[in-house]
Amino acid sequence: MKKKFRLKKSIVKRLKIAGVICAVFFAVFLFYRSQINSLKKIGYSEKASVNILFQFKKDYVLSIGENKTLNAAFESNDYEEKYLDQYSKIEYQNQEHLIKNINTLIKKGYSNADISMILAHGSDSDVSEFAERKKVNYLEEFFSLPYAKLKNYDRYVDYSNETGEDDETTVLAVNLDMDKETYKDAKVIKNFSTDMLVNKHRSLEKEFKPEDLVSIDEKYSSDDTQAGSRIAVNAFIKMYKAAKDEGYDLVINSSYRSYEEQEEICNMYRELYGDNYVLNYVAMPGFSEHQTGLAFDIGSRNSNIFAQSKEYEWIQKNAHKYGFIQRFPAKYEAITGFRSEPWHYRYVGKKIATYIYEHNISFEEYYVLFLDS
């Protein structure tokens, strides 16, 4: 009887101790969760928060507040404590090896501002590649322009050395591949879109045909063989009618041309005027906007010299309202690589045409600013 009682007593004692231990653990757990939650509340992930606690950096992180780069650092296996302060000052980018690349760039001697700039101008692999090379000078010169590309760095330096052009022109030219020989190693554009850019560095395949090719009524054109992409043709008809209402008479003299037709034209002009003329005035097959079905050579029914007609005056002020731009004005010869063609209009849609009209830029510049990814 006595023995049994003693046994019971010791069980109770043990249970009490276990209870106390449980309570302590539970209190510690609650405290731990509240610490984690205070970090999560200001944008840190569960994983980052746990690491912040175990590295004893909670107070530091709370003093900084929400910071995506810091969060990425504490989530990453590449985290290095000695760079903690720098992480918090470098602008975050969603890149797989962000912290590893930041570490490498810090070791190379780049400032926080430099590193933010580098990260913002390339993909994860571009940055990794750049981080491995010797520290470069002239970083700010090119990369203060939002559309400068990390992977083009060497070409910017070469182009600016060779031409003496300013940084803006240099970045623009290289992004457009103008540092490469024309008609060579061109980028092949496969998909039709109203904002597609075709020029001496960006070509169409022989088989390329515009979407929705329709023939153009003779009412609007010089003969019955003309055709174009439906969206551009409809836009032209609207423009034609608006001009007509004001007493101007527009006409399409040339429109969609297949690869083969462009080839014939090149050969014809070469025989007539020689290579130099073809180089400046006629696009090589595959490199002509006419193959997109979005370009029209427009004339006046009242005058043989379009540039001197009142229709030309009208179209200069109004084309953008219908989604057209004069594609090769004299002022952009250096960018487009074509001599002035007052008659060549390209459909790009109202939004782009209006922007180009209002900001006085070429389609090439628009492309670099807004369409090039």
Q: Which residues bind Zn ion (CB under 5 A)?
A: 297, 344
In the bound state with Zn ion, the residue whose beta carbon lies nearer, of 100 and 344, is: 344
* Catalytic (active site) residue 205: no
3-state helix, strand, coil in the chain (%, to 5): 55, 10, 35
Tally the C-alpha atoms within 13 A of residue 98's C-alpha that lie toward its C-beta.
Answer: 21
> What's the CA gap between 5 and 254, in Å, rounded?
111
Cβ proximity to Zn ion, 48 vs 265, nearer residue: 265
- Output the smallest distance, CB 256 to Zn ion, in A: 11
DSSP class of residue 320 equals G
In the beta sheet, which residues pair with residue 252? 221, 298
Distance CA 104, CA 84 (A): 14
> Is the separation of the CB atoms in 105 and 114 below 8 Å?
yes
43: left (phi over 0), alpha (psi -120 to 50) or beta: left
Contact yes or no for 259/291 (Cβ under 8 A): yes
Q: At what angle do helices 46-54 and 2-40 cross, to 10 degrees?
A: 110
Closest approach, Cβ 255 to Zn ion, in A, equals 9
The 8-class DSSP code of residue 368 comes to I
Q: Which is nearer to Zn ion, 114 or 297 (CB)?
A: 297
Cβ-based neighbours of 12, under 8 Å, separated by 6 or more? none
Smallest gap from residue 139 Cβ to Zn ion (A): 41
Closest by CA to 286, choosing from 199, 213, 346, 227, is 199
Burial label, 188 (beta-carbon count in 10 A; 0-12, 13-18, 19+): exposed
Q: Which position among 289, 341, 358, 365 bears the catalytic label?
A: 341
Give the contacts of 54 (CB within 8 A, at least 6 positions apart): none
Indicate the residue among 177 and 297 with the shorter CB distance to Zn ion. Answer: 297
Residue number closest to Zn ion, CB atom: 344
Work out how close the CB of 176 gets to Zn ion at its nearest, in angstroms, rounded to a whole number. 20
**Shortest approach of Zn ion to residue 232 CB, angstroms?**
13
Q: Which residues are catalytic?
A: 341
